[in-house]
Structure 1
Amino acid sequence: MISKKRIDDEKLALITFTGKLVEAEGLLEEVSEFIESEKLAVDGDPTVIFYTAPLKDEGRYDVGFPVKGEATGDGRVKIVTVPGHTVISTEYSKDRESAYEELVNYVEENELDVIGAPREIYHEKTREVQFPVVL
Protein backbone atom coordinates (compact mmCIF):
# COMPACT_ATOMS: atom_id res chain seq x y z
CA MET A 1 0.00 0.00 0.00
CA ILE A 2 1.32 3.44 -0.96
CA SER A 3 1.29 6.23 1.59
CA LYS A 4 2.15 9.93 1.30
CA LYS A 5 3.82 11.89 4.08
CA ARG A 6 5.78 15.00 4.83
CA ILE A 7 9.31 14.53 6.16
CA ASP A 8 10.56 17.45 8.27
CA ASP A 9 14.15 18.71 8.03
CA GLU A 10 16.32 15.79 9.08
CA LYS A 11 19.91 15.69 10.30
CA LEU A 12 21.78 12.55 9.20
CA ALA A 13 25.17 11.08 10.07
CA LEU A 14 26.30 9.36 6.84
CA ILE A 15 29.11 7.61 5.03
CA THR A 16 29.07 7.86 1.22
CA PHE A 17 30.47 4.83 -0.56
CA THR A 18 30.52 2.99 -3.85
CA GLY A 19 30.37 -0.79 -3.74
CA LYS A 20 28.09 -3.67 -2.87
CA LEU A 21 24.99 -2.97 -0.81
CA VAL A 22 25.85 -5.87 1.53
CA GLU A 23 28.78 -3.74 2.75
CA ALA A 24 26.32 -1.26 4.25
CA GLU A 25 25.97 -3.22 7.49
CA GLY A 26 29.62 -2.71 8.36
CA LEU A 27 29.34 0.97 7.50
CA LEU A 28 26.33 1.32 9.78
CA GLU A 29 28.48 -0.01 12.62
CA GLU A 30 31.13 2.61 11.80
CA VAL A 31 28.53 5.39 11.80
CA SER A 32 27.13 4.07 15.11
CA GLU A 33 30.59 4.27 16.68
CA PHE A 34 30.95 7.85 15.45
CA ILE A 35 27.53 8.78 16.86
CA GLU A 36 28.49 7.33 20.22
CA SER A 37 31.91 9.02 20.27
CA GLU A 38 30.33 12.41 19.45
CA LYS A 39 27.60 11.93 22.08
CA LEU A 40 24.86 12.31 19.48
CA ALA A 41 21.46 10.64 19.84
CA VAL A 42 20.12 8.30 17.16
CA ASP A 43 16.79 9.77 16.02
CA GLY A 44 15.44 7.02 13.76
CA ASP A 45 16.15 3.78 11.98
CA PRO A 46 19.12 3.05 9.68
CA THR A 47 18.84 4.72 6.29
CA VAL A 48 20.34 4.07 2.85
CA ILE A 49 20.01 6.67 0.08
CA PHE A 50 20.54 5.25 -3.42
CA TYR A 51 22.31 7.38 -6.04
CA THR A 52 22.37 4.60 -8.62
CA ALA A 53 19.81 1.94 -9.54
CA PRO A 54 18.63 0.54 -6.19
CA LEU A 55 17.96 -2.96 -7.53
CA LYS A 56 21.53 -3.54 -8.74
CA ASP A 57 24.13 -5.33 -6.60
CA GLU A 58 26.58 -2.44 -6.73
CA GLY A 59 26.13 1.29 -6.67
CA ARG A 60 26.74 4.57 -4.90
CA TYR A 61 25.04 5.08 -1.54
CA ASP A 62 24.79 7.19 1.58
CA VAL A 63 24.48 4.97 4.65
CA GLY A 64 23.70 6.18 8.15
CA PHE A 65 21.24 7.27 10.81
CA PRO A 66 19.07 10.28 11.63
CA VAL A 67 20.65 12.03 14.63
CA LYS A 68 20.06 14.76 17.20
CA GLY A 69 22.86 16.87 18.60
CA GLU A 70 25.74 18.92 17.30
CA ALA A 71 28.76 17.53 15.46
CA THR A 72 30.69 18.37 12.31
CA GLY A 73 31.71 14.92 11.10
CA ASP A 74 35.18 13.39 10.99
CA GLY A 75 36.06 13.29 7.31
CA ARG A 76 34.60 9.86 6.59
CA VAL A 77 31.32 10.41 8.46
CA LYS A 78 29.45 13.52 7.33
CA ILE A 79 26.68 15.34 9.12
CA VAL A 80 24.10 16.66 6.64
CA THR A 81 20.67 18.21 6.91
CA VAL A 82 18.11 17.03 4.38
CA PRO A 83 15.47 19.76 3.86
CA GLY A 84 11.85 18.85 4.53
CA HIS A 85 10.04 17.25 1.61
CA THR A 86 7.12 15.02 0.66
CA VAL A 87 7.55 11.30 -0.06
CA ILE A 88 5.46 8.44 -1.27
CA SER A 89 6.39 5.19 0.40
CA THR A 90 5.64 1.53 0.79
CA GLU A 91 6.97 -1.20 3.04
CA TYR A 92 8.16 -4.71 2.28
CA SER A 93 9.56 -7.61 4.21
CA LYS A 94 10.68 -9.93 1.41
CA ASP A 95 9.95 -8.70 -2.12
CA ARG A 96 12.08 -5.59 -2.61
CA GLU A 97 11.64 -5.51 -6.38
CA SER A 98 7.82 -5.46 -6.12
CA ALA A 99 7.98 -2.53 -3.68
CA TYR A 100 9.95 -0.46 -6.20
CA GLU A 101 7.67 -1.55 -9.04
CA GLU A 102 4.61 -0.50 -7.03
CA LEU A 103 6.08 2.96 -6.37
CA VAL A 104 7.15 3.47 -10.00
CA ASN A 105 3.66 2.48 -11.20
CA TYR A 106 2.09 4.90 -8.71
CA VAL A 107 4.35 7.72 -9.92
CA GLU A 108 3.43 7.05 -13.55
CA GLU A 109 -0.31 6.62 -12.93
CA ASN A 110 -0.49 9.83 -10.88
CA GLU A 111 1.94 11.79 -13.08
CA LEU A 112 4.16 12.71 -10.13
CA ASP A 113 7.63 14.22 -10.35
CA VAL A 114 10.29 12.32 -8.41
CA ILE A 115 12.69 15.03 -7.17
CA GLY A 116 15.57 13.08 -5.66
CA ALA A 117 17.18 9.79 -4.80
CA PRO A 118 15.12 6.92 -3.38
CA ARG A 119 15.75 5.95 0.20
CA GLU A 120 15.25 2.81 2.25
CA ILE A 121 14.60 2.90 5.98
CA TYR A 122 15.46 -0.32 7.78
CA HIS A 123 12.78 -0.76 10.43
CA GLU A 124 12.94 -3.68 12.86
CA LYS A 125 10.70 -6.05 10.88
CA THR A 126 10.22 -4.31 7.53
CA ARG A 127 11.96 -1.99 5.14
CA GLU A 128 10.35 1.17 3.86
CA VAL A 129 11.09 2.54 0.39
CA GLN A 130 10.59 6.27 -0.08
CA PHE A 131 10.54 8.35 -3.26
CA PRO A 132 10.73 12.14 -2.77
CA VAL A 133 8.02 13.72 -4.93
CA VAL A 134 6.28 16.93 -5.86
CA LEU A 135 2.54 16.56 -5.36
Structure 2
Amino acid sequence: MAAIRYIVNDVGEAVSFYTTHLGFALEQQFGPAMAILTREDLTLWVAGPLASAYRAMPDGRQPAPGGWNRIVLEVRSDLAALVSALREKEVRFRNDIVEGPGGRQILCEDPSGNAIELFEAKQA
Protein backbone atom coordinates (compact mmCIF):
# COMPACT_ATOMS: atom_id res chain seq x y z
CA MET A 1 0.00 0.00 0.00
CA ALA A 2 1.14 3.53 -0.73
CA ALA A 3 -0.11 6.72 0.89
CA ILE A 4 0.44 10.43 0.50
CA ARG A 5 0.97 12.60 3.57
CA TYR A 6 0.06 16.27 3.74
CA ILE A 7 1.17 18.50 6.58
CA VAL A 8 -1.85 20.56 7.73
CA ASN A 9 -2.45 23.27 10.29
CA ASP A 10 -5.63 21.71 11.70
CA VAL A 11 -6.54 18.02 11.27
CA GLY A 12 -10.26 18.49 11.99
CA GLU A 13 -10.51 21.28 9.45
CA ALA A 14 -8.64 19.17 6.86
CA VAL A 15 -10.92 16.15 7.46
CA SER A 16 -13.99 18.34 7.02
CA PHE A 17 -12.62 19.87 3.79
CA TYR A 18 -11.65 16.59 2.12
CA THR A 19 -14.83 14.73 3.11
CA THR A 20 -17.22 17.60 2.36
CA HIS A 21 -15.77 18.95 -0.87
CA LEU A 22 -13.66 16.23 -2.51
CA GLY A 23 -15.41 12.94 -1.80
CA PHE A 24 -12.96 11.40 0.70
CA ALA A 25 -14.04 9.09 3.51
CA LEU A 26 -12.56 9.23 6.99
CA GLU A 27 -11.01 5.84 7.80
CA GLN A 28 -9.33 6.65 11.10
CA GLN A 29 -8.51 9.70 13.20
CA PHE A 30 -5.89 9.97 15.91
CA GLY A 31 -7.31 12.94 17.79
CA PRO A 32 -5.97 16.30 16.63
CA ALA A 33 -2.64 14.78 15.51
CA MET A 34 -3.46 12.80 12.36
CA ALA A 35 -6.19 11.28 10.20
CA ILE A 36 -6.35 8.73 7.41
CA LEU A 37 -8.68 9.49 4.51
CA THR A 38 -9.48 7.46 1.39
CA ARG A 39 -10.95 8.18 -2.03
CA GLU A 40 -11.15 5.23 -4.40
CA ASP A 41 -7.60 3.80 -4.45
CA LEU A 42 -5.95 6.88 -2.90
CA THR A 43 -4.99 7.01 0.78
CA LEU A 44 -4.24 10.44 2.23
CA TRP A 45 -2.71 10.98 5.65
CA VAL A 46 -3.17 14.47 7.09
CA ALA A 47 -0.74 15.30 9.89
CA GLY A 48 -1.20 18.28 12.19
CA PRO A 49 1.16 20.06 14.61
CA LEU A 50 0.93 17.26 17.20
CA ALA A 51 2.05 14.53 14.74
CA SER A 52 5.61 13.24 14.58
CA ALA A 53 5.70 14.21 10.89
CA TYR A 54 5.46 17.87 11.95
CA ARG A 55 8.66 17.79 14.04
CA ALA A 56 11.66 19.85 12.97
CA MET A 57 14.42 18.15 10.99
CA PRO A 58 17.91 17.79 12.51
CA ASP A 59 19.06 20.83 10.52
CA GLY A 60 16.22 22.93 11.96
CA ARG A 61 13.92 22.99 8.93
CA GLN A 62 10.27 22.77 9.93
CA PRO A 63 7.77 20.81 7.82
CA ALA A 64 5.03 23.14 6.59
CA PRO A 65 1.92 22.93 4.44
CA GLY A 66 1.77 24.27 0.91
CA GLY A 67 4.21 23.96 -1.94
CA TRP A 68 3.62 22.76 -5.48
CA ASN A 69 3.67 18.98 -5.15
CA ARG A 70 0.10 17.78 -5.21
CA ILE A 71 -2.37 14.98 -5.48
CA VAL A 72 -4.33 14.76 -8.71
CA LEU A 73 -8.03 13.93 -8.55
CA GLU A 74 -9.60 12.96 -11.86
CA VAL A 75 -12.91 14.56 -12.65
CA ARG A 76 -14.87 12.29 -14.96
CA SER A 77 -17.04 15.05 -16.46
CA ASP A 78 -17.77 18.77 -16.34
CA LEU A 79 -14.78 20.24 -14.55
CA ALA A 80 -16.22 23.74 -14.97
CA ALA A 81 -19.42 22.83 -13.08
CA LEU A 82 -17.40 21.31 -10.22
CA VAL A 83 -15.18 24.40 -9.99
CA SER A 84 -18.24 26.65 -9.95
CA ALA A 85 -19.82 24.62 -7.12
CA LEU A 86 -16.59 24.65 -5.11
CA ARG A 87 -16.17 28.41 -5.56
CA GLU A 88 -19.71 28.89 -4.21
CA LYS A 89 -18.52 27.03 -1.10
CA GLU A 90 -15.53 29.40 -0.90
CA VAL A 91 -12.89 26.81 -1.81
CA ARG A 92 -9.69 28.68 -2.75
CA PHE A 93 -8.13 28.28 -6.20
CA ARG A 94 -4.62 29.20 -7.30
CA ASN A 95 -5.54 29.67 -10.95
CA ASP A 96 -8.29 29.34 -13.53
CA ILE A 97 -8.89 26.23 -15.62
CA VAL A 98 -6.08 25.70 -18.12
CA GLU A 99 -6.08 23.36 -21.10
CA GLY A 100 -3.16 21.26 -22.24
CA PRO A 101 -2.53 18.33 -24.56
CA GLY A 102 -4.00 15.79 -22.13
CA GLY A 103 -6.97 17.71 -20.83
CA ARG A 104 -7.99 20.52 -18.51
CA GLN A 105 -6.85 21.22 -14.96
CA ILE A 106 -7.08 23.68 -12.10
CA LEU A 107 -5.42 23.89 -8.68
CA CYS A 108 -7.46 24.33 -5.53
CA GLU A 109 -6.13 24.47 -1.97
CA ASP A 110 -7.11 22.78 1.25
CA PRO A 111 -7.50 25.03 4.31
CA SER A 112 -3.74 24.74 5.05
CA GLY A 113 -2.68 25.76 1.52
CA ASN A 114 -1.83 22.28 0.14
CA ALA A 115 -2.47 22.02 -3.60
CA ILE A 116 -4.99 19.62 -5.12
CA GLU A 117 -5.13 19.33 -8.91
CA LEU A 118 -8.58 18.67 -10.37
CA PHE A 119 -8.01 17.11 -13.80
CA GLU A 120 -10.43 16.30 -16.61
CA ALA A 121 -8.93 14.16 -19.38
CA LYS A 122 -9.45 15.12 -23.00
CA GLN A 123 -12.21 13.08 -24.61
CA ALA A 124 -11.01 10.78 -27.39
Please state which band the TM-score falls in when normalised by the shorter chain. Answer: under 0.3
TM-score (norm 1): 0.26
Instruction: Give the structure with the larger strand fraction.
Output: 1
